[in-house]
């Protein structure tokens, strides 16, 4: 007979979460219907400034930029993840120039996204529910718009990705992070540690209303090409809808004996940033609006050296 001091190892409990995130099927809005969008099209057209020819200056009320920064601080739906490499002094100069171009592009794009969101849901419509809808629209607009930019050489175009995860509870967060960065950034413990707060921030951003929410991650990496003295910059964008089960991520590591089983899905876009193509366009943004866009980008960005 076993003594009372001996412990019996219990089999691990399997927790099936089902689908926690899925690749979004954007619902056709009246605006999109006016543009002859096909309801079955996963990326129906939107009313944004066309990319052919010189890009016009963006000019709209500073009230919008101020409102946007505050509204999306309360209801975030976009995160910018930058992976700057470790370079020597001479190489860093090239990197800084390209990263500045990338920041200018993100500022200009963010202003354009806001313009479209507030065209759909005007600023004079108050309420927290409207702000949640604006947040969702922002993630959708960013996903649609970014993949059409002429200064991004498409490598993977909005490919639906589905994956299954079966792992111990204490590995759950790392498995989710690995699914996001695999094939783009070499995964290592420092990356996982830096990205876990982002994962939890996404979980905490989910509203309690039960409405379908869309989130977009925009990742940026840079590679220095020796001999050519150039920096190649790449973007990976992931867009997904969250489900109620997504909240389980926060408690995912609370019981190390548990085995987590779930499915995830997202749209994946990858492109090469053609900096010379970007520089051809004479982009002029009012300084107050640029400052607001930078505030938005700063509050939604994290740098993870690689």
If we measure between CA atoms, which residue out of 132, 262, 254 comes closest to residue 205? 132
Residue 73 lies in a domain: yes
Specify the pairing of strand 230-242 against strand 301-303: unpaired
Residue 68 lies in a domain: yes
Which residue range forms the structural domain that includes residue 75? 63-303
CA distance 115 to 59: 9
pLDDT of residue 294: 85
Please state the pTM of the whole predicted model: 0.82
Residue 9 lies in a domain: no
**Structure tokens belonging to residue 72:** 């999306």
CA distance 134 to 20: 22
Q: Is 259 in a helix, a strand, or coil? A: strand
CA distance 268 to 301: 19
Number of domains in the chain: 1
pLDDT of residue 1: 46
If we measure between CA atoms, which residue out of 242, 192, 185 comes closest to residue 216? 242
Residue 58 lies in a domain: no
CA separation (Å) from 270 to 110, 184, 219, 267, 273? 19, 9, 9, 10, 10
Residue 229 lies in a domain: yes
Name all contacts of 120-124 with Cβ < 8 Å and 24+ positions apart.
Answer: 120/29, 120/31, 123/61, 123/63, 123/64, 123/67
Say if CB 223 and CB 94 are below 8 A apart.
Answer: no
Residue 258 lies in a domain: yes
Q: What is the mean pLDDT of each run of 10 residues along the chain (306 residues)?
A: 45 83 65 37 40 47 76 88 84 86 89 87 85 91 88 91 93 93 90 90 76 89 84 94 82 69 95 91 72 84 86
Q: Is 20 in a helix, a strand, or coil? A: strand
Residue 20 lies in a domain: no
């Amino acid at each position: 007979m076993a003594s009372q001091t001996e412990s019996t190892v219990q089999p691990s409990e399997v927790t099936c979460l089902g689908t926690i995130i899925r690749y979004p099927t954007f619902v056709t809005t009246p605006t999109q219907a006016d543009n002859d969008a096909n309801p079955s099209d996963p990326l129906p057209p939107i009313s944004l400034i066309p990319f052919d020819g010189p890009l016009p200056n963006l000019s709209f009320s500073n009230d919008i930029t101020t409102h946007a920064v505050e509204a999306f601080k309360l209801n975030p739906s976009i995160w910018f993840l930058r992976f700057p490499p470790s370079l020597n002094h001479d190489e860093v100069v090239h990197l800084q120039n390209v990263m500045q171009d990338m920041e200018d592009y993100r500022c200009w794009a963010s202003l354009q996204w806001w313009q479209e969101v507030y065209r759909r849901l005007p600023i004079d419509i108050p309420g927290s529910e409207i702000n949640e809808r604006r947040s969702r629209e922002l993630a959708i607009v960013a996903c649609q718009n970014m993949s059409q930019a002429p200064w991004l050489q498409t490598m993977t175009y909005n490919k639906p990705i589905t994956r299954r995860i079966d792992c111990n509870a204490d590995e759950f967060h790392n498995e989710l992070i690995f699914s996001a960065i695999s094939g783009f950034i070499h995964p290592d413990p420092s990356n996982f540690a830096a990205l876990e707060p982002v994962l939890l921030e996404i979980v905490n951003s989910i509203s309690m209303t039960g409405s379908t929410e869309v989130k977009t991650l925009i990742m940026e990496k840079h590679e220095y090409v020796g001999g050519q003295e150039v920096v190649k910059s790449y973007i990976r964008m992931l867009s997904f809808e969250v489900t109620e089960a997504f909240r389980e991520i926060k408690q995912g590591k609370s019981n190390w004996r548990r085995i987590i089983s779930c499915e995830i899905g997202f749209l994946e876009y990858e492109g090469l940033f053609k900096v010379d193509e970007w520089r051809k366009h004479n982009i002029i943004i009012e300084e107050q609006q640029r400052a607001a866009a930078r505030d938005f980008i700063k509050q939604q960005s994290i740098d993870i050296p690689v």
